[in-house]
Structure formats: C-alpha cells, structure tokens
Structure 1
C-alpha cells in the first residue's frame, strides 16, 4: 500500500512539472519574441503586432518603454574607455568597440518618443552576426541582383564612394519608410563582435501611417548581400503596424 502511494505521489509530481513547463515555455516565447533575440540574424524592436491609436499617447507607451529599455546600453556606451567613433578608415582594434551615438537615430530618437506620439512610429532594426551567419557585402553596382528593390538601389547609388558601394549589409523594408542613419549595417561594426561591451549597429525605420488608418500594414524587412539565401529566416524580419483613428 505504501509503495502504491509513493508511485501515485511521484506520478502526480511528474504531471505537475509537465503542466508547468507546458505553460511556461509558450509564455516565455510570447514574452520575448524575435525582437529580444541575441542569436544571429535581423531583429526588430518592437516587433510583432504594433497597434497605436491616433490622439492617444497611452497607446504607444508600452512600445516607447520597450525601445527606451533596449537603447539603455547604447546610451551608456560613451562612458566606456574602449569605445571609439568608427568609420571606413577608423576601425576597432584590440578590445575596442564602435560607438553608436543617439544622434544616429535622428527623427527616431527619444525627443520624439520614437515617433509613436506623431502617428509615425519607428522600429529599430539590428543585425547580429557571428561565424555561423556572416554575409558578404556587395562591392559595386555590377554585383547587384536584378530583383534589388528600386528604392534601395537609389539609396546605394546616392552613397557611392569613388564608384564603389559602402561596405556593409544593406536592408530594405517593403513599405513607406524613412531610414536613420541609412539602410546599411556598416562592416566596421563587425570587426570585433567578441569584445566586451560590443553592441550591434541599429537602423531606425520610421513609418508614416496617417494615410493608412484602420488597416493592418504588414512589413517585411530583408537583408541584401552577396551570399544571402532568401529562404534563410535570419535574413529577414516581419511585423505588423496599425493606426486606429477617424
């Protein structure tokens, strides 16, 4: 009898643990989502379904708080001694990492609440790379595929340096947008990804929704580089925007 009771208790404990895990794992996935991943690939903050209401600042509050929290480590970078201002000729060495000043966010900065109170919400894109995912940048216009988006091609042509493309991984989103600082993750940000305090660069994308009220706007942002497989989920990120109003 005592043995049967023991097994009943044991079975009860196992069932309880399984139920807790079944609940906890989906909740954790819903909580964090793609935007909080640090695994290689393109990510968006905030991500998922983004809903705001025209004339209602409270509707954007959660998104503003999420972006503010995400940016906190970036805002503290300048206090560290190993942080430098990088460009195509000044690259990180040793334990150095590239700074990402807030001014790069431009119209998507904290002073505008990231556009959420103006019906022009901003989404921050980051690209994390390591040895398992390290696309090769295009070097000139002749290497571009025929299906390159026209708007991205125009941005590339405007940004040529001595006839060559700026080195880095380009990104394009399939909707009305405005990029800050530009639709490019510069290659020098990836020279020292293992250094302490390293943070990936950000491309901020502002979406103008005032002419698209009360409809779900599905956005897909995609990386463009020499050897990216368009079916590789790490090379793209999707989210939905909606502005409710009269």
Structure 2
C-alpha cells in the first residue's frame, strides 16, 4: 500500500470545538467558507435570486389580474348567484360580551346594582352613528312612499320617532327590568323586500301582523319559542312601529347607509325565568329556517 494511502487512512487528529468551528467557517485546505466554495455560493445565490424574482413576478401578475376584476362598489356575485343567497338573516342588539361571543343570552340584574350597564353601553355604541355623523350630509334624504329616492341617496332614520321607553335617557328599560332589544335585518347587496299577496298571507304569520299588514312594509314579530316562554315574556311593544318601510331598501353600498331597525320592548317579563325568544322578519322573499337562521333570530332573556 502506498505511503500516501496510509496517510489517508490515519485517524485525524482530535480537534477542539473551537478548532472545528474555525475550520467550518474557513477551511484553508479546501478553500471553503461555511461548507461551500466561492463558486458554490455564487451558484446558489444566483439560483435563489432567480427563484424569488419569479415568485414575486407571478404573484404580482396574479394580484394585478385580481384588482382588474374586482369592483370596489358592488360584489361580483349577488343574491341567488352568491353564497349569501337572497334571503337575509336577522340580527339583534345588544350583543353579549366578547368573552361570550357565541352566546345569545341577554342576562342582567335590574335595580341600583347597575349590573345592567354593559347592555345599555352596547346599545349606545351601536346607535352612535344614528345620532350624528353619518346622519348628516348631501347623501341623506327624508324618504316617503310618495317620493322615490335616488340610488346614491340614503334614507334618514329618525330616532326621535322611537318611544321614550326605548331611549338612552331611560336606559332602554334595563334599569327597571323592562328591556328593549333592537332587531334589524342583515344587509344583502341589492336585496329588496317583495310583498305578500293580501289574499295569501302565510298561515304561520302572527294574527296581529295579518291585521295590520301593508305590502309597503317589512314586518317584525317576536314571541316565545315554547308555551312557557310565551307565557313569561309578557306584553310586547314595537318602536317606532312593528314594520320597516320598503323605501329603506335596497342596500347598494351607499356611503352613510345605516340599517333600519325596530325596538322590541318587553314591558313586563317574568323575573328569574330564562325565556327563549324568536324574532322573524316578514316578506314574500324572506325564508324562515331555524336551523340556518334565515329570516329569524334567536336569543334568550333572563331578568333578575
């Protein structure tokens, strides 16, 4: 065996960690820096520059195509052609605290303890845009059934028409255990309510709505889900009325648009009893599906 081969097979001298580290950073025998020669570093650097340049170029082109096809004022898919569909949901305020975001329970203790303050603050926060700001400007108009508003205009929602029992000055009734709950129809771009034929109103429509039904309005009704709930919620009033005029629709992303709503005033709910309540909106093109929560909203009310 040649002497050169014998030298090759000899065990390398043991090196300290510092010596191994220095040799990894710069190996004078092989001319390697951090395990690669200068030519190897140049090749891999050029590869990654080209690779990331191609990625940036690809996603830039995709983003440009996306922005070209996006309309900033209206969705591409609307009503039946969209995932949202053409039957709106219904929402309620005040919303439960963020830590109970999945809850639908309105629970408070009325009286001097002021454990009702959160619910009052939540309603005041929601109503703040209605009290100023968006309720002023050239886009705002006073709507009526006799006049047709322009597409870019929005209808003024007059809080002064709401009964004082559901006002901020009266704490929306929470301090005396007679709460007001705000019910609104969720926005769907381009959706307009369609009237029922007066001769073919739904069988499950509440009798009080049937008696006052006007095809120019969308109606709101609330009742207990079970016989015990209906017995315990007591009498109900609606402010400013039980209906929302059709001229507030459609929502077409107009600047300053504010959703119309109805306040439901529970005048004498039974204390200490959990009540399941369902509120529905009534129009010919509003479907009611409890499972999907179409056309209705569920919440629980507990007054201590």
**Length-normalised TM-score, structure 2:** 0.59
Shift of 1:143: 2.6
Task: Give me the whole-angstrom Cα distance separating, in 2, the residues matched to 1:146 and 1:220.
Answer: 17
The whole-number CA distance in structure 2 between the counterparts of 1:192 and 1:91 is 15
For the Cα contact (< 8 Å) 2:195–2:216, is it kept in 1?
Answer: yes
Q: What is the match of residue 294 of structure 2? A: 234
- Partner residue, 1:118: 176
Q: Could you tell me how far apart the structure 2 residues matched to 1:192 and 1:89 are? A: 20
Residue 154 of structure 2: aligned partner: 97
Selected match of 1:75 from 126, 131, 135: 131
Residue in structure 2 matched with residue 108 of structure 1 by the alignment? 166
Structure 2, unmatched stretches of 5+, are: 1-83, 96-103, 225-234
Q: Is the 8 A contact 2:183 2:262 kept in 1?
A: yes
- Mapped partners of 1:41, 1:73: distance in 2: 22
The offset of 1:220, in angstroms, is 0.3
1:147 CA drift (Å)? 2.0
Deviating 4+ runs (over 3 angstroms): 131-135
Pick closer, same or farther for the CA change 1:125–1:152 going to 2, 3 Å.
same
Task: Determine the C-alpha separation between the residues in 1 that align with 2:249 and 2:176.
Answer: 34
- Segments of structure 1 that go 5 or more residues without pairing to the other structure are 1-38, 157-164
Distance in 1 (CA, whole Å) between partners of 2:218 and 2:151 is 23
Q: Does 1:87 align with 2:144?
A: yes
Over the aligned positions, Cα root-mean-square deviation in angstroms equals 2.1
Matched, 1:172 2:221: yes
Asked if 1 retains the 8 angstrom alpha-carbon contact of 2:110 and 2:174, the reply is no
The superposition leaves residues 124-173 of structure 1 with CA deviations (integer Å, 9 ceiling, x where unpaired) of 111133258654222x52131222111222343xxxxxxxx241321110
Structure 1 residues 40-55: aligned runs within 5 Å: 40-47=88-95, 48-55=104-111
Deviation, structure 1 residue 123: 0.6
Offset of 1:74 from its aligned partner?
1.0
CA distance in 2, matches of 1:196, 1:135: 21
| Contact residue 92 and residue 191 of structure 1 kept, 8 A | no
Deviation, structure 1 residue 208: 2.2
The answer (yes or no) to whether the contact 1:213–1:243 under 8 Å persists in 2 is yes
Partner SS for 2:162: helix
Deviation of 1:227 after TM superposition, in Å, equals 3.1
Shift of the 227–44 alpha-carbon distance from structure 1 to 2, 3 Å rule, reads: same
Q: How much has 1:57 moved relative to structure 2?
A: 5.1
CA distance in 1, matches of 2:273, 2:178: 15
Q: What is the distance in 2 between the residues matched to 1:92 and 1:193?
A: 13
The answer to whether the Cα contact below 8 Å between 2:190 and 2:250 also exists between their aligned partners in 1 is no
Query: Residues 79 and 135 of structure 1: is their aligned pair in 2 closer, same or farther, counting only changes over 3 Å?
Result: closer
CA distance in 2, matches of 1:180, 1:155: 15
Distance 1:130 1:178 in 2: 27
